[in-house]
Amino acid sequence: MAEPVARRLAGRYEVRSLIGRGGMAEVHLGFDTRLSRVIAIKMLRRDLALDSIFQARFRREAQSAASLNHPNIVAVYDTGEEMIEDAQGRAISIPFIVMEYVEGHTVKELISDGMPVPINEAIEIVGGVLQALEYSHAAHLVHRDIKPGNIMLTNDGKVKVMDFGIARALTDSQATMTQTNAVVGTAQYLSPEQARGEQVDARSDLYSTGVVLFELLTGRPPFKGDSAVAVAYQHVGQMPPIPSSITADIPDALDRVVMKALAKDRDQRYASADAMLADLMRVSRGLGVSAPETSVWMGQTPRQDQTAATIPLSAAASPTSTVIANPPRQGQGQGAQGPAPTPANGANEEDEARARKRRAMLIGSLIALALLVIGSSVYALANWKSKPATAAVPNVVGYTQAEAKAQVESAGFTWAIAADRVASDSVAEGSVVSTNPPGGEQAEEGSTITATLSSGPDSVAVPDSLVGMSPDDAKRAVEAVGLKWEVSSDRVASDEVGEGKVAKVNPSSASKVKAGSTVTGYLSSGSDTVAVPDLSGMKQEQARSALENVGLKLGTVSFTDDSEQPKDQIVYSDPEAGSSAQKGAKVNVTISSGNNQVTIPTVVGTSAEDAKAALEGVGLKPNMTDVDSDKPKGQVVSIDPAEGQKVNKGTQVNVKVSKGKGNGTPTPTPTRVERSSSSITASWRTFTSSGRN
């Protein structure tokens, strides 16, 4: 049975197995067929696709994350929308985000066993988060949902922050509540201002990061409750425990960093992610930190706008007790100073009076608040009929002008187009980028909905296939998509691209850059490897020239006595001839010293025995051959190589020996006999005597 064909988005992204599911979206493993890489594809859940609020949030996530490029932030490669039909046959737009696929696990999985992680590891994880936040805050973007489930740890130990789904610009961060008045964010990691529905800023992210650091160090969050509301209330009105009170090995400096990050008043927290990171780095090096002592935070009293239930019970437990505003530091207290003095009766009476006054003010405030609510309700009922009717603004982002106008007018609103257009990578030119008021919000029927149209993408893709082109062809291809072209003076070696062709471009092919950006091309200097030439038989300077011609250098020169090559000639090279070597590499050579050569002695005219002895005596190899000759039998007629030539030891010398005249009686081979003068004289006398006879 054939496997089902993988679903594709935008004609290139294969949707594969489901790897995660959240409250708003599903994440699938994917594959980019164009760039041949594994990706993650985040898609809005189908059951939420008709909700304009979720549509807007999802698109905002894509826009927010796509604007960020940092090693500690999960990268967004592309966005788009897929049209599907629901069970009723209605066309539904499903937005998707193509993201970097990160192999690893979340911090949530890391601490799921409730055990603290090593201090250095906790600092490293939070340090990565703070680097990501410093970058996003500099880009005027608040994450607003920092939590362990949104922090990835890659298999090679890198930290990656993900899910900018509820991120907002710093200028728009007052929108902490959704349209349904639900607090945006996860209760366990909410900052006090988020829990109160107030405007948030970068310091709200630092509070959430402090909560994550607390949990990494202790194995538990600072606050627990039966409901999200209960936990949020604690974030607003209760001080967290000091981390070392839960895990004893936490140093005081690290306690101070955590407590400063978790300050209720954001003005008392770290001013930036960089400042908090600097203190963490000091902790890791054993240095002092800028954060104050933990007693500063533990001695704080609840604000007056909090309920009386937050006032310590010890204040009314005994008329003789004293409420300590600041706990004693080490070396103080009863052990050092003796028991606390009993206040005078007058002081007790004053305390009672102040308590009665506070209770009276609280009761009065509650009554006034109740009257205000009742009055507001009566006023609203009285004027209900006079208020104009409202309707939800249709979400027409991505629609053409004609489609959007029809939708807006059918909903009872007036259609208008903004004078200025804005660039968009996700919305086609001439289609709607945004509306004012935005889709999903309530507006008076008949009011004007002003649409802002797209001027087309603000970024373009660097053309494919630039590598291998000539500089002129690459220039034309780059300029055709609205980019600029320049050629670097630096060249790069390439075994695949011929010399003078484009070997590399920056930014790389298919990457997205802003229109008008410059693409730099690097031309090939040719192959980085060359074949070692055959240097055998060359003199040293000849070899040097031959090597330089192919981009190599002459290396070490050594000599040998065992070569058959003539003196000063190269015997062999290292690397050997024909092998590959990197340009600029050195080639070592071995040269013959010439000590292996001998001179062929004079043996023509001597006997074969004498010739053989003479040749072997100088290290040569005689090869004796009988030939027809008029020379006496056994006499050497000729040799090859000739007498007097220099040859290598061990060279074979061909010796031709006479067979004698007519193959008759062998002529005695003359021998050279050294005689004394007396012997010669005796022989001569014998010869003359014989002649006479």
Q: What positions carry a catalytic annotation?
A: 145
Give the containing element (helix H, strand E) for 541.
helix 540-549
Spell out a b/e string for 439-477, using b for 16 or more CB atoms within 10 Å of the CB, else e. Answer: bbbebeeeeebebbbbebbeebebbeebbebeeeebbeb
Give the containing element (helix H, strand E) for 513.
strand 512-514
| Cβ pair 591, 559 in contact under 8 A | yes
DSSP one-letter code for 358: H
Q: In the beta sheet, which residues pair with residue 619?
A: none
Q: Distance between CA atoms of 216 and 107, rounded to whole angstroms?
A: 9
- DSSP letter string over 101-155? ---EEEHHHHTTTSPPPPHHHHHHHHHHHHHHHHHHHHTTEE-----GGGEEEET
607 SS3 class:
strand
Q: Distance between CA atoms of 151 and 31, rounded to whole angstroms?
A: 23
- For residue 596, how many C-alpha atoms fall within 13 Å in the half-sphere facing its CB? 19
Q: Where are the beta strands (DSSP E) in 192-260?
A: none
Q: Distance between CA atoms of 43 and 49, rounded to whole angstroms?
A: 10
Which of 160, 263, 255, 175 shows the shortest CA–CA distance to 217?
255
C-alpha 555: how far from chain center: 40
Q: Distance between CA atoms of 689 and 693, rounded to whole angstroms?
A: 6
Torsion of CA 7, 13, 19, 21, to 10 degrees: -80
Single-letter amino acid code for the residue at 579: S
Q: Distance between CA atoms of 523 and 630, rounded to whole angstroms?
A: 78
Inter-axis angle of helices 202-218 and 252-261, nearest 10: 140
DSSP one-letter code for 227: S
Judged on CB neighbours under 10 Å (0-12, 13-18, 19+), 69 is exposed
Q: Distance between CA atoms of 457 and 512, rounded to whole angstroms?
A: 10
Residue that is written with structure tokens 């955590």 in the block: 258
| Cβ pair 493, 459 in contact under 8 A | no
Which of 65, 21, 75, 12 shows the shortest CA–CA distance to 43?
21
Q: Distance between CA atoms of 280 and 274, rounded to whole angstroms?
A: 10
494 SS3 class:
coil
Torsion of CA 26, 29, 33, 36, to 10 degrees: 140
DSSP one-letter code for 524: B
For the record, the structure tokens of 516 come out as 């008008």
